[in-house]
């Protein structure tokens, strides 16, 4: 009897805007929380992936350096944009006392990996890589460069 009265009641139409307002209120509270959670996950995932790429470059350069002059290898890296963030920069740099790999994503997150185990030489410094796939040649050389006090081994990294 109650349900029949509600379906025939013309005032029941007044409940629809109230229901829509409640749904809109729930969505306006819930969507920013979901967005921030996904954005935070995306940011940390991208930073972790770029750190893994930097470590793989560092490890490959260290292996080539330890095997001595004339050793070389090619390493392939892939820098991917995320859902909400993109690669701002990924660069190898030897302008400071030690070589370093720096990276950042849109939104302000930035980090670096220092290359302290071997001298690094880059023909173009910084060697900047954007989003996408890249091939880097890593070679151990011997000689005297302008930025080195004496002759010795160093690692040269160039983009292929």
State the average pLDDT over residues 76-81: 93
Nearest to 115 by CA among 160, 158, 61: 61
User: Is pLDDT of 148 > 90?
Assistant: no
For the ranges 4-18, 73-87, 116-130, the one whose mean pLDDT is highest? 73-87
- What's the pLDDT at 152? 82
- Report the SS3 class of residue 120: strand
**CA diameter of the chain:** 99
- Phi/psi at 150 (nearest 5 deg)? -140, 170
Number of domains in the chain: 1
Query: Measured between alpha carbons, how far is 31 from 138 in angstroms, rounded to an integer?
Result: 46
Task: Strand 152-159: give its sheet, edge to edge.
Answer: 72-79, 132-143, 152-159, 120-121
Helix (H, G, I), strand (E, B) or coil at 28: helix
Q: Supply the pLDDT for residue 56.
A: 95
Residue with tokens 């050389």: 141
pLDDT at 95 over 60: yes
- Nearest alpha carbon to residue 116 among 128, 139, 100: 100
49-60 pLDDT, tens digit each: 999 999 999 999
- Whole-number pLDDT of residue 6: 52
Give the bridge partners for 113, in sequence order. Answer: 101
Confidence category of residue 146, pLDDT binned at 50, 70, 90: low
Report d(CA 84, CA 92) in Å as an integer: 25
Domain that holds residue 77: 3-159
| Helix and strand element counts for the chain (H, E) | 2, 8
């Amino acid at each position: 009897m109650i349900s029949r009265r509600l379906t025939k009641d013309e005032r029941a139409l007044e409940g629809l805007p109230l229901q829509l307002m409640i749904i809109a209120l729930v969505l306006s509270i819930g969507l920013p929380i979901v967005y921030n959670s996904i954005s935070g996950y995306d940011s940390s995932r991208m930073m972790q992936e770029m750190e893994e790429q930097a470590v793989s470059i560092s490890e490959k350069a260290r292996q080539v350096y330890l095997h001595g002059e004339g050793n070389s290898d090619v390493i392939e890296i892939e820098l991917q944009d995320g859902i909400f963030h993109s690669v701002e920069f990924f660069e190898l740099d030897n302008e400071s006392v030690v070589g370093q790999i720096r990276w950042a994503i849109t939104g302000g997150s930035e980090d670096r990996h220092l290359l302290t185990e071997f001298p690094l030489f880059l023909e173009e410094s910084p060697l900047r890589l954007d989003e996408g796939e890249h091939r880097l040649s890593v070679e151990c050389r011997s000689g005297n460069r302008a930025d080195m006090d004496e002759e010795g081994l160093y690692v040269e990294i160039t983009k292929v």
